[in-house]
Structure 1
């Protein structure tokens, strides 16, 4: 099973290692929970970072994401207009890249 610790320095090092691991796990939980805790800051960041070629979300702004979600949910019900809108959504990134 586990080997008994022979000295107090080994025990102290093990305690320090456990403390460091717990702190690392705490920091990871805080980092990954930020988008869940502050969703409006994430949306605000998406809107403000839409400048030039440094677009971190691949050209998908909040309006594009909402339109894609709407077409996914209601596109079949819209008939011919829904089909044209879906084709437009597919062509949008290509046209956007061609624009200066």
Structure 2
């Protein structure tokens, strides 16, 4: 098993190790709490990163994500119109990609 700490040097090393672990855990807590404490900043960075990589994106912008969530929650209640909207939402990235490809070829 473990041997008892006999020297003051061993004790100080152990204390330093515990301090470093506590600091690491504190930094992790701050990192993971940041999106919860600043949600608007997170959304701004999400939108700006989507704009920067729009050439390589799959066509899923913030509006597409919101539409997907709404249709997932209320699509069945909308009947045929909901089914048509779900099909359109599924086909939209394909059509958008085809339009981009045609634009590049011209």
Structure scoring higher RCO (CA < 8 A, sep ≥ 6) equals: 2
Superposed structure 1 runs of 4+ greater than 4 Å apart:
none
Q: CA RMSD in A?
A: 1.8
- Matched pairs, number: 98
**TM-score normalised to the size of structure 2?**
0.80
Distance 1:96 1:50 in 2: 15
Partner residue, 1:53: 55
Distance 1:66 1:22 in 2: 39
Partner residue, 2:20: 20
Describe the superposition over 1:54-73 as per-residue Cα deviations: whole angstroms up to 9, x where unpaired.
Answer: 55xx6432211211111011
Structure with greater proportional helix content: 2
Q: Give unmatched runs, 5+ long, in structure 1.
A: none
Q: Give unmatched runs, 5+ long, in structure 2.
A: 101-106
